[in-house]
Structure 1
Amino acid sequence: MKKPLLALTILSLSLSSIITPIQATAALPLSVDGEQLPSLAPMLEKVTPAVVSISVEGTQVSKQRIPEQFRFFFGPEFPTEQLQERPFRGLGSGVIVNADKGYIVTNYHVINGAEKIRVKLHDGREYDAELVGGDQMSDVALLKLEKAKNLTEIKIADSDALRVGDFAVAIGNPFGLGQTVTSGIVSALGRSGLNIENFENFIQTDAAINSGNSGGALVNLKGELIGINTAILGPNGGNVGIGFAIPSNMMTNLTAQILEFGEVKRGMLGVQGGEITSELAEALGYESSKGAFVSQVVPDSAADKAGLKAGDVIVSINGKDIHSFSELRAKVATLGAGKKVSLGIIRDGKKESFDVTLGEQQNVKASADKLHEGLSGAELTNTTSSDSVQGVKVASVEKGSKAEAYQLAKGDIIIGVNRKRVKNLAEFRKVLEKQPGVLALNIQRGERTIYLVVR
C-alpha cells in the first residue's frame, strides 16, 4: 500500500495584513510547593526589550487585462493589459544590535518593496525607520532609528561555537499577536539546499517559529543572539518544529559590509567542488565525510595564487571546522572581499595550512529596488564575456513586482538609459542618480532591440 506523501513548503515568515483567527490553549499550573523552579524569565527580562515588531506599507503593481471590445474599437495596437497599483501591508520582527546608533537587523524580505517602515519597541514606543541597506541574496537588511533614545541592544554570540543540542529561544511577533517567546534546541547546523537564499548556512531549530517571526531573535540561554529567524518548513504553512535562522556571525559580517560600503562585497576563493561522499572519501583515503572537496581551481584566482590544487580537501577557515562545500561557499562569500583567511587543507593525507586573500565576486547580483522604484523586484548583474553585448543584465524578476509589470524580463540586457550608453552597473547607477524620474530603457532582448518606459 502506498503511503500518502506530506507536501512540505518553505515559507518566509513575514506576515500579510490578513490574519486568520487562532485558537489559544493554556496549560494547567504546576504545584511548586514553595520551591523556586528553573525559569527563563530573568534572562528574557533583559533580552526582550532588544526585539522589536516591524510593520511595512508599500504598493504592488499588477497587470489587469483590458476587455477585448476595446481592441475591437481602437485596433490591434491598443494595449491588452494595463498596470494597476495596489497597496500592501506586512509584519515582521527585528533585533536592536546597536542602541547608541539605533541600528536594527531584520530580514530583507520583511522590508522588500516597502515605502514606509514602522518599528514598535517592547515598551510600546513607535518610530519610523530608515533603510540603511540590505542584501536580497542573503536575506539581511539593516534599519536605523534616528530619534529613538534609551534603546536596549542585544549581545551577539559566536555562532561558530554552537553545537547540536544547545538550547535555543526564539523571540518575535508571530501572526501580529505581539512579542512571543518559544523554546527548543539547535536541531542541526549548516543546513543548505533549501532554495531559500543564494548563500545558505542555516541553524535549524525546533523552537516554534511562525509567520511574523521573520527578522526576530534566536538566542542562547545567556540571552546572546545566535541567529536571525528566517523561514519554516511545514505543511500548509503550519509549524512542525523545523525552523531556520541565519547564524549571528554571518549576519555580523554582512551588516559590517553594508555599513562600510553601502552594499555587500562578497568574497571569492576561486574553487569548484562538492561534498565528500563515502565513495570519494574511500578513494582519497580520507576517514571523514566533513570538509569541502576541491575538484578544480580557477586560474589566477585567490585560491590559485595561494597554491591550492585540485584534490585538496578544505577542512577549516581561520581554525573553524568546515563541514561541507555549501558551508565553505557561504562563509567565504559573507567574510567579504579582501579579507585574509587561513585555510586548513588535507593534501595527500597530510594537514597543511594556506593563507589566502579573498578576491571579489565581480558578477554579483544587485537588487534594483534602491536604484529606481519602477525596477523593484528585479535583480541586476554585469554582463560577462559570454553575453553578446556589454551592459546590465536582468538576472531575475519577481512575480507580481513592478519590474514585471513594466515588462522587464529575465535575460534582458540594458544597454542604454535616457539615450545614454551604459556598459555596467556602476554606469547605470550614475545615470539614475542624476536622472531619477522616468526611465527610457534601451534593451537587448535576444536578437531584438526594444525600448521600455519605466516610471
Structure 2
Amino acid sequence: MKKPLLVLSALALSISSVIAPIPATAALPLSVDHQQLPSLAPMVEQVTPAVVSIAVEGKHVSRQQIPDSFRFFFGPDFPAEQVREQPFRGLGSGVIVDAKKGFIVTNHHVINGADKILVQLYDGRELTAELIGSDKMSDIALLKVETAKNLTEIKLADSDKLRVGDFAVAIGNPFGLGQTVTSGIISALGRSGLNIENFENFIQTDAAINSGNSGGALVNLNGELIGINTAILGPNGGNVGIGFAIPANMVKNLSEQILEFGEVKRGVLGVQGGELTAELAEAFGYETNQGAFINQVMPGSAAEKAGLKAGDIIVSVNGKQIRTFSELRAKIATLGAGKKISLGVIRDGKEKDFTVTLQEATQNKVKADNLHPGLAGAEFANTTSSDSVNGVKVINVDEKSLVARYGLQKDDIIIGLNRKPIKNLGELRKALDKNPNVLALEIKRADNILYLVIR
C-alpha cells in the first residue's frame, strides 16, 4: 500500500473544484447552570466583516518562438512567435487593512495573471478591485476598491511578539463555501526552507486552512491580524493541521513599499552565510545554536560599512531575536532599501550592537512581457541613485524581439509613456493596465531624449 505523498500547496482555489456535502452537527448549549460558556463569537463577529472573498478571471498566455527556417519558408510576414491564451478562473480570500482608502491585502498567487478581480464583502456586496501592486517573491498583493462605503478594517498586531502556543483563528473562503472560521494555536515561528516563496519567514499553525484560504486572515484572540494565510502541507493539498502564514509585520512593510513605489524595494545587507550549528556556536563562543552565521561580508556592502566581519553571529534585528539565517534574509529583504536597522551580534563570545543602513537590491528585474505583450523580449528594473534620472531602466533586450526592431536598446531609460511621466516600475505597470494598442515610449539615451512608438 502506497503512503500518501505530502506536498506543499498554495491555497488559491480553482473554481471547478468539487465540494462534498457537509454533515449537520448538533448545536452546543449557550449556557450550563445559567452560566455563559466561553466563546470566540464576540471577537469573530467583530473581525469577519474585514475578511473578503476574491474571485478572479484571466488568461494564461504562452509564447513559442517560430524557427527562422520555418518563417523563411512562409515568408517574412509570417509571425515570429505563436501565442496561445488559456482562460482561467480562481477563488481566494483577502483582508481589508484600510477601510477609508479601500485597501485589501491578499496573496500574489491569488491574483497573478488576472484581468478581472471581483471582491465580495461579508454583507454580500460585490465590488471590482484594482491591483495596486504585488510581489511574487514574498507572495503579497495589494488591491483597492474605489467605490466602497462602510468598510470594516482589521488592526495589525506586532507579529514579532508571537509565541508558540498562542491561540490563533483562521478566517477565509475555503473551497468557495463562503466565509469560514477555524481555530488552533501557533505551532512554530520562523519557518523557512519550504521552497514556497523566495523569502520565507512563516508562522506555522494547526488552525484548519484549505484551498481557497489564500490571502485570508490569521488573527489572535484580540481580533488583530497576525498573518496572511498562504500555504498548507498535506496529502493532495488537503488540511492535516500544518498551515503557513506570512507574518503581519512583513505584510505591513511590503504593503507600505508597494504604496510608495509601486513595487517592493528590497533591502540588502551584503553578507553570505548559513545556519548556526552546535559545532559552529561552540567554536565561536556562543552558548546556543540560534542565530545567523556570517561566513563572508561583501566588499562595499552595508554590512562592511557598518563594521560587520566574517565569523560574526547575528542574533537580533531591531531588538527582535533571529533564529536562522533564512529568517534574517527574509526580514532584511522586506524591511526596505534605505532603512536604518539595529543588529545584535555575537563576536568573540561577546554581544555587540551595530547600526546598518540597508542598500537597495540592484537585480530586481521584471520581464516586460508580464507588463504588456508589445514589450516582450525586454527586461526592466527601476533606476538607482547612480542613474541620472528617475525612470525604468532597460536591463536587457532580446535581439530577435519586436521591441529590438523598433529600436529599444539596453541601458535606455523610460521616462514617459503616452505623454504620462514614468518614475518607476509601479507607475509603468499602472499606465499599462488598460492595455493600450500603441505605446509611445519617451526614452532617455545617454544625453538625448527620443520617442519610440510601438504598435
TM-score, length-scaled by structure 1: 0.82
Aligned mates of 2:152, 2:382 — CA distance in 1: 41
How much has 1:368 moved relative to structure 2? 4.3
Structure 1 position 155 matched with structure 2 position 149:
no
Matches within 5 A, 1:174-185: 174-185=174-185
Cα distance 1:294–1:413, how it changes in 2: closer, same or farther (>3 A)?
farther
Cα distance 1:287–1:225, how it changes in 2: closer, same or farther (>3 A)?
same
Aligned mates of 1:110, 1:379 — CA distance in 2: 24
- Is the partner of 2:8 in helix, strand or coil? strand
Structure 1 position 292 matched with structure 2 position 292:
yes
Farther off after superposition, 424-433 or 156-165: 424-433
CA RMSD of aligned residues (A): 3.4
How much has 1:317 moved relative to structure 2? 0.8
Q: Quick check: 2:376–2:401 contact (8 Å CA) kept in 1?
A: no
How much has 1:8 moved relative to structure 2? 1.5
Aligned mates of 1:437, 1:226 — CA distance in 2: 43
Amino acid at match of 2:51: V
Aligned mates of 2:416, 2:4 — CA distance in 1: 46
Amino acid at match of 2:220: N
Matches within 5 A, 1:300-319: 300-319=300-319
Q: Quick check: 2:303–2:356 contact (8 Å CA) kept in 1?
A: yes
Report Cα offsets for 1:344-371 as digits up to 9, x if no partner. Answer: 1100001110111111111113364762
Amino acid at match of 1:392: I
How much has 1:62 moved relative to structure 2? 4.5
How much has 1:88 moved relative to structure 2? 1.2
- Is the partner of 2:100 in helix, strand or coil? coil
Cα distance 1:215–1:8, how it changes in 2: closer, same or farther (>3 A)?
same
Structure 1 position 196 matched with structure 2 position 196:
yes
Report how many residues are paired: 413
Which residue does the alignment assign to 2:411?
423
Q: Quick check: 1:382–1:393 contact (8 Å CA) kept in 2?
A: no
Amino acid at match of 1:241: G
Aligned mates of 1:204, 1:104 — CA distance in 2: 23
Report Cα offsets for 1:231-279 as digits up to 9, x if no partner. Answer: 1111111111111100000000000011111111100001110110112
- Is the partner of 2:244 in helix, strand or coil? strand
Cα distance 1:346–1:116, how it changes in 2: closer, same or farther (>3 A)?
same
- Is the partner of 1:316 in helix, strand or coil? strand
Which residue does the alignment assign to 1:337?
337
Amino acid at match of 1:336: G
Farther off after superposition, 199-208 or 427-436: 427-436
How much has 1:164 moved relative to structure 2? 0.6
Cα distance 1:132–1:167, how it changes in 2: closer, same or farther (>3 A)?
same
Query: Unaligned 5+ residue runs, structure 1?
Result: 384-389, 395-407, 440-453
Matches within 5 A, 1:393-404: 393=396
Aligned mates of 1:307, 1:301 — CA distance in 2: 10
Report Cα offsets for 1:42-93 as digits up to 9, x if no partner. Answer: 0011100000011111122347999xxxx9xx87998899533232111111
Cα distance 1:145–1:30, how it changes in 2: closer, same or farther (>3 A)?
closer
Q: Quick check: 2:376–2:403 contact (8 Å CA) kept in 1?
A: no
How much has 1:334 moved relative to structure 2? 0.6
Amino acid at match of 1:331: K
Aligned mates of 2:184, 2:110 — CA distance in 1: 24
Which residue does the alignment assign to 2:7?
9
Aligned mates of 1:196, 1:282 — CA distance in 2: 32
Match of 1:19 among 12, 17, 20: 17
Which residue does the alignment assign to 2:137?
137
TM-score, length-scaled by structure 2: 0.82
Which residue does the alignment assign to 2:387?
none
Aligned mates of 2:151, 2:79 — CA distance in 1: 53
- Is the partner of 1:421 in helix, strand or coil? coil
- Is the partner of 1:296 in helix, strand or coil? strand
Cα distance 1:328–1:312, how it changes in 2: closer, same or farther (>3 A)?
same
Farther off after superposition, 430-439 or 159-168: 430-439
- Is the partner of 2:35 in helix, strand or coil? coil
Which residue does the alignment assign to 2:445?
none
Query: Unaligned 5+ residue runs, structure 2?
Result: 384-392, 440-453
Q: Percent identity?
A: 68
Amino acid at match of 2:411: K
Q: Quick check: 1:393–1:414 contact (8 Å CA) kept in 2?
A: no
Which residue does the alignment assign to 2:247?
247
Structure 1 position 219 matched with structure 2 position 219:
yes
Report Cα offsets for 1:218-240 as digits up to 9, x if no partner. Answer: 00010000000111111111111
Q: Quick check: 2:293–2:314 contact (8 Å CA) kept in 1?
A: yes
Q: Quick check: 1:392–1:415 contact (8 Å CA) kept in 2?
A: no
Which residue does the alignment assign to 1:392?
395
Structure 1 position 275 matched with structure 2 position 278:
no
Which residue does the alignment assign to 1:402?
none
Which residue does the alignment assign to 1:39?
39
Which residue does the alignment assign to 1:233?
233
Aligned mates of 1:173, 1:322 — CA distance in 2: 33
Q: Quick check: 2:138–2:199 contact (8 Å CA) kept in 1?
A: yes
Amino acid at match of 1:9: V
How much has 1:382 moved relative to structure 2? 8.9
